Amino acid sequence: MTVPCRRILVAGLSAFLLIGTAVSGDASTPSASTTVADGQRDFDWEIGSWRTSVRVLAEPLSGSADEWLQFSGTSVVRPLMDRRANVVELKVSGPSGRIEGMNLRLYEPQATRWSLTFVSMRDGLLTPAVYGGFRDGVGAFYGDDQLGGRPIKVRFLVFRQGADTARFEQAFSGDGGTTWETNWIAVDRRTS
């Protein structure tokens, strides 16, 4: 399957990669994240295996937010380097095909922030990173990318909805961040 854009952030997904206008307003208020004061342990709660349901907007920033592609599968989050980094492995499939990718998350102690970088196994290319952290239990990460040769802004949100459920949303902006269109929504449920 060729997913319409090369950035499929599974960022948090549980990694990555995000919520859309079509379902806005149904995300529960996330519980407070367990963190060290500097944020280095913000993703500790996510270490483990998850069952993942993903919805992807077929044509982001095209003016048509009607067609959503459905996928389901697994997301596995593993700690690296004493939990100062982690990697998410995403494998989902559906009627439209498969998505396989990884999200590498690195903590930057000097900036007290995380960088999240996704790679699709389809093309082996890294996307530009999104940067940010958690505040009041919500992870918010922002960056710049391109879609169809034009510059866009990217927003990735992580909502922890209890010990065993999380929601990840990705949105693009073609107008410098004034408006956002959600194009990726992933809901993860812990399996181990």
| pLDDT per position as a tens digit, 142-179 | 999 999 999 999 999 999 999 999 999 999 999 999 99
How far is residue 124 from each of residues 43, 60, 144, 176, measured CA to CA in Å? 25, 21, 19, 28
Domain residues for the domain of 89 are 21-190
Q: Cα–Cα distance between 14 and 36 in angstroms, integer?
A: 20
Q: Is residue 106 part of a domain?
A: yes
At residue 45, the 3 state secondary structure works out as: helix
Q: Where do we find the tokens 């922030």?
A: 113
Q: Is residue 10 part of a domain?
A: no
Instruction: Give how many domains the chain has, as a whole number.
Output: 1
Residue-wise pLDDT for 81-129, tens only, equals 989 999 999 999 999 999 999 999 999 999 999 999 999 888 888 999 9
Give every CB contact of residue 32 below 8 A, 6+ residues apart in sequence: 136, 137
